[in-house]
Structure 1
Amino acid sequence: MNFPLARFAHHSWVFSEAATTSKSNGRLFPTLRKRKLTSTAIPRAQNKSSEELLVVVGAGAAGVYGAIRAKTLAPNLTVVVVEKARPLAKVKVSGGGRCNVTNGHCVDTMMLAENYPRGHRELKGAFFNTHGPVDTMTWFSDHGVELKTEDDGRVFPVSNSSSTIVDCLMSESTRLGVSLQTGKAVVTASPTDGQKFLLGIEKRTPSAVEYIEADYLLIASGNGKQGYSLASQLGHSIVDPVPSLFTFKIEDSKLADLSGITFPKVKAKLKIENVQRNIPQLTQVGPVLVTHWGFSGPAILRLSAWGACVLSTSGYKGTLILDFTPDVHIDDVKSILTQHKNKFAKQKVANSYPTEFGLVKRFWKYILSRQGLLGDILWASISKDSLFSVAHMLKHCDFCVKGKSQYKDEFVTAGGVPLSEISLNTMESRIQSRLFFAGEVLNVDGITGGFNFQNAWSGGYIAGTSIGKQAVGA
């Protein structure tokens, strides 16, 4: 399938089609040479092929899944996925290399939508009803991938290897005839008079640019600037992107000595200066991990997701308040400490502490140090006020957040194309027909636990279905 090209201006150069079209390495686009700009009129390219072309920007989860779905419904549709880096790179590193495919505990649409700080209102409609977690799990199972659901709801391949998911998607793409082109980026996009898209595709060197007309365009480029730029060129607005799913840096030198300690259940609350409105989700309950720079773990990551936008305006500064005994009332904490004091009066406070709290010795000493109770102090010497201060510290331990740290390689971004500018029933733009979006390029982001991938699978599937049906005239 060749794409005859006339001459096109790009900055100070005009590109014209070479005598032949390269067919090596499965390349679909023509090889171009450059020459100096002239004043000659520059007509638009004409795609004279009887087949229609879908160009997918981005070979991530949403892009590849959408390409597969479109090609499945419309076998005669030419589908090309353009990716400047490695395909499915985030899938490969996600879940510590295991790939958290989705969440198996949130199958109800209303409950599922509540896990998306940006999108929780809009996604309560038909989005997940069209293709939800059960549909995702069924799709992978039908394509030979055995899955398992862990206690917290996260779904992984039984192989515990993300390569199983990557190989499945790549194999299905190859089987269907989806063309994957890497080392290229779609850098310009504009609608043509014939309801097509004129796309400028850049190779590794900026001087090598190809132009092509596509009948359909699916932008699924994740949180990179590329997708935002293309969306803007095609008339869409962009909600300024800010990081989501990050860990907290804490101003406390003594905390670094506790690195590696995990608390199975902590109630974490985030207070941000100059934020007047109440945000209920800025209180989370779950596991918390002490790192050498501060705090991480599911409860912290959920806080970061819900607080992403307001934290960005505060310079990622605030106060983190942790309750290390969330299931024990403050009066009961005081009572337990009092009973322990009476029973172990002659023992050192640093060496003896209530087991009911489930704390490790290193952290107990940290709590004591913040109250000035370290050394050879005996339980008998602890005053009632000091005892109650320790109880308050366990229930209301505050830390000064001084910044954020990226969460491994699984960073997520809040912001992107507003959901109001697309139809969630089809993922088609409300501004430009035959233009579709899916995945993180949209202003949607989920908390940790498989929700961001589910957004990608759902959006890609819906977009692919819409494109496939249009291509076959359904």
Structure 2
Amino acid sequence: MSLPLARFVLPSRLFSEAATTGKRNGRLISTLKKRKFTSAATHRAQHKAGEEVLVVVGAGAAGVFGAIRAKTLAPNLNVVLIEKARPLAKVKVSGGGRCNVTNGHCVESMMLAENYPRGHKELKGAFFNTHGPVDTMTWFSDHGVELKTEDDGRVFPVSNSSSTIIDCLMSESTRLGVSLQTGKAVITASPTDGGKFLLGIEKRTPSSVEYVEADYLLIASGNGKQGYSLASQLGHLIVDPVPSLFTFKIEDPQLADLSGITFPKVKAKLKTESVQRNIPQLTQVGPVLVTHWGFSGPAILRLSAWGACVLSRTGYKGTLILDFTPDVHIEDVKSILTQHKNKFVKQKVANSYPTEFGLVKRFWKYILGRQGLLGDILWASISKDSLVSIAHMLKHCDFSVRGKSQYKDEFVTAGGVPLSEISLNTMESKIQSRLFFAGEVLNVDGITGGFNFQNAWSGGYIAGTSIGKQAVSAKLCEANSASNF
């Protein structure tokens, strides 16, 4: 399929693709390795003379939203989305297929920024003030999508289907005239003497590469190597990407028998040998789920996000300390246990336990097992020291973390293009003019709850606004110049 923009097919040649890496200032720099391609015949440019071109790399949330915004402001701008896989693939699977659009409880920018382990300092400026959660919800509502805010702040379409969000975005981009090209990947990018970008585009079968000139380039390719490679080719450093938002693998065979148990509220703290000082964010409170491999749930996922870089340096090893009664002081826990003992002296410890703790029987037996108190032991036989030990276990139960598991298909990374190399007011590169970034290709990642998508909507909107305004300004200058003749 022909691209609806100016392009050129060059003779067969050797060109570069991301391969070798080097270190500078603690950041990963991607360079290129040689690979040979052959050229194929194509049609000449199909766009109108003088029409400017925006190429968006990646048809995810940030890329599609940015393309829509740019085309809305500059209808004469030729906007082309290039996606090697399926458009809006992460939107499809997010929130268990419901799409967690944003977070409705964190609408004030300072509070909102605190939900981004990478970016919480930089995003406290104008970023969310320009386009925040309320703006996102208003945009979708104005485009026919009914939304609902759940008790924990997560915002979903009333339909409970991510297809509603996808259909809305794709319908709007089609209505505006945004061109979507799938099964292709932008693999090379270089600035031209005329202030444009020469892009090498590879089809799904790497037998040929077509070369396209673009006036503006928006890289919104998520956490894939493609975006990092293009950013490096255009002079940017890359913060070495590592996984974020994952569950913990725990070294405890008995824990597997508790799979499926959910604790509504647990205080979870992560300790590693590499971190001696107290980091507040490495303690999280919230629901925790026992899995057949360890622990999951919102509190664990938030903890993994804040500890992502630390854990990557330790080989994902550390100590997880869980407080299963975070709202009850340890002295009160001891008192409750003592009262229960005095009331049920003739009952077996394994069968009778305080309901105040909200524990299930299987987990109570697990705690007793770690204390060596299983069997036919009666409450009358439990010593004061044993009561203290049980209380301490409930408030300070430690587990050895020995790895991570990917959180379903909602894979998020920490790392990417440093925010210091981007103007967050415009999302334009400080190194290369007319080059823009949005979404997870940047060194920004949020915890669960709709924050990663909000980063995508905000970045895409700001980038699209900047590009649209530049394109309109260029058109006006062109018109004024023509009127002088």
Q: Give the TM-score, by structure 1 length.
A: 0.92
Does the 8 Å CA contact 1:3/1:47 hold for their aligned counterparts?
no
Q: In 1, distance between residues paired with 2:60 and 2:10?
A: 28
Q: In 1, distance between residues paired with 2:202 and 2:128?
A: 35
User: Using a 3 Å threshold, how does the CA distance of structure 1 residues 49 and 17 change in structure 2: closer, same or farther?
Assistant: farther
User: Using a 3 Å threshold, how does the CA distance of structure 1 residues 142 and 22 change in structure 2: closer, same or farther?
Assistant: farther
Q: In 1, distance between residues paired with 2:377 and 2:77?
A: 78
- Deviation of 1:205 (Å): 1.5
Does the 8 Å CA contact 1:243/1:411 hold for their aligned counterparts?
yes
Does the 8 Å CA contact 1:228/1:238 hold for their aligned counterparts?
yes
Q: In 2, distance between residues paired with 1:185 and 1:251?
A: 42
What corresponds to 1:267 in structure 2?
267
- SS where residue 366 of structure 2 aligns? helix
Does the 8 Å CA contact 2:31/2:232 hold for their aligned counterparts?
no
User: Using a 3 Å threshold, how does the CA distance of structure 1 residues 399 and 207 change in structure 2: closer, same or farther?
Assistant: same
User: Using a 3 Å threshold, how does the CA distance of structure 1 residues 347 and 57 change in structure 2: closer, same or farther?
Assistant: same
Does the 8 Å CA contact 1:6/1:45 hold for their aligned counterparts?
yes
Q: In 2, distance between residues paired with 1:320 and 1:36?
A: 50
Q: In 1, distance between residues paired with 2:198 and 2:252?
A: 54
User: Using a 3 Å threshold, how does the CA distance of structure 1 residues 399 and 36 change in structure 2: closer, same or farther?
Assistant: closer
> Deviations for 1:250-288, whole angstroms, at most 9, x for unmatched residues?
000010010110000000000011223332100000000
- Deviation of 1:234 (Å): 0.3
Does the 8 Å CA contact 2:250/2:293 hold for their aligned counterparts?
yes
- Deviation of 1:118 (Å): 0.3
- Deviation of 1:49 (Å): 3.0
Q: In 2, distance between residues paired with 1:277 and 1:24?
A: 27
> Deviations for 1:133-156, whole angstroms, at most 9, x for unmatched residues?
000000000000000000000000
> Deviations for 1:399-437, whole angstroms, at most 9, x for unmatched residues?
000000000111110000000001000000000000000
Q: In 2, distance between residues paired with 1:304 and 1:350?
A: 34
- What is the root-mean-square deviation in Å for CA atoms of aligned residues? 7.3
- SS where residue 155 of structure 1 aligns? strand
Q: In 2, distance between residues paired with 1:160 and 1:458?
A: 23
- SS where residue 363 of structure 2 aligns? helix
- SS where residue 320 of structure 1 aligns? strand
Does the 8 Å CA contact 1:223/1:412 hold for their aligned counterparts?
yes
Does the 8 Å CA contact 1:271/1:320 hold for their aligned counterparts?
yes
Q: In 2, distance between residues paired with 1:449 and 1:383?
A: 45
- Deviation of 1:13 (Å): 3.5
User: Using a 3 Å threshold, how does the CA distance of structure 1 residues 212 and 132 change in structure 2: closer, same or farther?
Assistant: same
What corresponds to 1:248 in structure 2?
248
- Deviation of 1:248 (Å): 0.2
> Deviations for 1:219-239, whole angstroms, at most 9, x for unmatched residues?
000000000000000000000
Deviates more, 1:387-396 or 1:273-282: 273-282
Does the 8 Å CA contact 2:56/2:63 hold for their aligned counterparts?
yes
User: Using a 3 Å threshold, how does the CA distance of structure 1 residues 344 and 326 change in structure 2: closer, same or farther?
Assistant: same
Does the 8 Å CA contact 2:28/2:238 hold for their aligned counterparts?
no
Does the 8 Å CA contact 1:284/1:302 hold for their aligned counterparts?
yes
- Deviation of 1:398 (Å): 0.1
Indicate the percent of aligned positions where both proteins have the same amino acid. 90
> Deviations for 1:427-472, whole angstroms, at most 9, x for unmatched residues?
0000000000000000000000000000000000000000000010
- SS where residue 349 of structure 1 aligns? coil
Q: In 1, distance between residues paired with 2:272 and 2:23?
A: 57
Deviates more, 1:3-12 or 1:273-282: 3-12
Q: In 2, distance between residues paired with 1:266 and 1:24?
A: 41
> Deviations for 1:277-327, whole angstroms, at most 9, x for unmatched residues?
332100000000000000000100010000000110000000000000000
User: Using a 3 Å threshold, how does the CA distance of structure 1 residues 368 and 329 change in structure 2: closer, same or farther?
Assistant: same
Does the 8 Å CA contact 2:73/2:468 hold for their aligned counterparts?
yes
Deviates more, 1:8-17 or 1:256-265: 8-17
What corresponds to 1:315 in structure 2?
315
Q: In 1, distance between residues paired with 2:81 and 2:274?
A: 45
What corresponds to 1:373 in structure 2?
373
User: Using a 3 Å threshold, how does the CA distance of structure 1 residues 5 and 409 change in structure 2: closer, same or farther?
Assistant: closer
User: Using a 3 Å threshold, how does the CA distance of structure 1 residues 219 and 330 change in structure 2: closer, same or farther?
Assistant: same
> Deviations for 1:31-60, whole angstroms, at most 9, x for unmatched residues?
999999999999999998311110000000
Does the 8 Å CA contact 2:29/2:238 hold for their aligned counterparts?
no
Does the 8 Å CA contact 1:4/1:17 hold for their aligned counterparts?
no
Q: In 1, distance between residues paired with 2:112 and 2:167?
A: 28
> Deviations for 1:160-218, whole angstroms, at most 9, x for unmatched residues?
01110011001101111111110000000000011100000000122221100000000
Deviates more, 1:183-192 or 1:206-215: 206-215
What corresponds to 1:358 in structure 2?
358
User: Using a 3 Å threshold, how does the CA distance of structure 1 residues 166 and 107 change in structure 2: closer, same or farther?
Assistant: same
User: Using a 3 Å threshold, how does the CA distance of structure 1 residues 353 and 11 change in structure 2: closer, same or farther?
Assistant: farther
For the pair 1:57 / 2:70, whether they are aligned, the reply is: no
Q: In 2, distance between residues paired with 1:250 and 1:28?
A: 31
- Deviation of 1:89 (Å): 0.3
User: Using a 3 Å threshold, how does the CA distance of structure 1 residues 150 and 205 change in structure 2: closer, same or farther?
Assistant: same
Q: In 1, distance between residues paired with 2:364 and 2:146?
A: 43
Q: In 1, distance between residues paired with 2:27 and 2:292?
A: 47
Q: In 1, distance between residues paired with 2:284 and 2:16?
A: 58
Q: In 1, distance between residues paired with 2:370 and 2:352?
A: 17
- SS where residue 18 of structure 1 aligns? strand
User: Using a 3 Å threshold, how does the CA distance of structure 1 residues 13 and 27 change in structure 2: closer, same or farther?
Assistant: farther
Q: Give the TM-score, by structure 2 length.
A: 0.89
User: Using a 3 Å threshold, how does the CA distance of structure 1 residues 27 and 147 change in structure 2: closer, same or farther?
Assistant: farther
User: Using a 3 Å threshold, how does the CA distance of structure 1 residues 365 and 76 change in structure 2: closer, same or farther?
Assistant: same
User: Using a 3 Å threshold, how does the CA distance of structure 1 residues 462 and 34 change in structure 2: closer, same or farther?
Assistant: closer
Does the 8 Å CA contact 1:58/1:220 hold for their aligned counterparts?
yes
> Deviations for 1:367-398, whole angstroms, at most 9, x for unmatched residues?
00000111111100111111110000000000
Structure 1 runs of 4+ aligned residues shifted over 4 Å read 1-12, 14-48
- Deviation of 1:14 (Å): 8.2
Q: In 2, distance between residues paired with 1:255 and 1:404?
A: 16
Deviates more, 1:132-141 or 1:268-277: 268-277
User: Using a 3 Å threshold, how does the CA distance of structure 1 residues 37 and 85 change in structure 2: closer, same or farther?
Assistant: closer
Q: In 1, distance between residues paired with 2:189 and 2:206?
A: 16
User: Using a 3 Å threshold, how does the CA distance of structure 1 residues 25 and 184 change in structure 2: closer, same or farther?
Assistant: farther
